[in-house]
Amino acid sequence: MVVGLYLLRVHRDQLSCSGYTLIEILIVLSVFSILLGMVILQITPTQTASSTRQFLEKLQSDIRYTQQLAYSTGKPHRLSIAPSSHTYTIINNAANVVKSVKLPENITIHQGTLGHQIIYVGSGNIQKAGTLLISDGKEEYKLVVQLGAGRFYIEKK
């Protein structure tokens, strides 16, 4: 019986010494939440830059697609930008919409010397050379379409 009481007393002493206090847990959780908040603040600008880069790649692909449609059908096609509806569309010669794309919320396209459309004639050449201005709120880009074969490039301003 004495041995049983001794073991009970030892077990109770071990229980009171093990574990963490409420203050220790709260300090660890607050440090963890501060570090997590700092990581989230670092991810947001990277995510915006990534979505802008993705949009610019999609726009380049759609411009090439417009040129390919004009060349393959032998009829003019145009990529028309509608700032009011925040979209751009690829339209064939009969004014039928081939493809319509909604712009991301942070992207705005301003008319440069091209106006708001890029027109490819039936041979796949550009009808008019010029520029479009693209902004994502932080950085500005210039889309330059060259005369002739319809080559273009996007440069950061």
Instruction: State the amino acid at position 147 in one-letter form.
Output: L
Q: If you classify domain 38-156 with CATH, what class do you get?
A: alpha beta
- How far from the centroid of its chain's Cα atoms is residue 90's Cα? 21
Per-chain mean pLDDT for the chain: 85
Strand partners, 153: 144
Alpha helix ranges (H) inside the chain: 2-17, 22-73
Extents of the domains making up the chain: 38-156
pLDDT bin (cut points 50, 70, 90) of residue 148 is confident
Predicted local confidence at residue 12, as pLDDT: 53
**Structure tokens that stand for 35 in this block:** 């570090």
- Taking a C-beta distance cutoff of 8 angstroms, is the pair 97, 71 a contact? no
Model-wide pTM > 0.85: no
First to last CA, the chain: 88
Q: Which of 20-34, 37-51, 94-108 has the lowest mean pLDDT?
A: 37-51
**pLDDT greater than 70 at residue 118:** yes
State pLDDT tens for residues 39-81: 777 766 667 778 889 999 999 999 999 999 999 999 999 999 9
Q: Which of 35-44, 122-131, 148-157 has the lowest mean pLDDT?
A: 35-44
Element (H, E) at 117: strand 117-120
**Structure tokens that stand for 142 in this block:** 């210039």
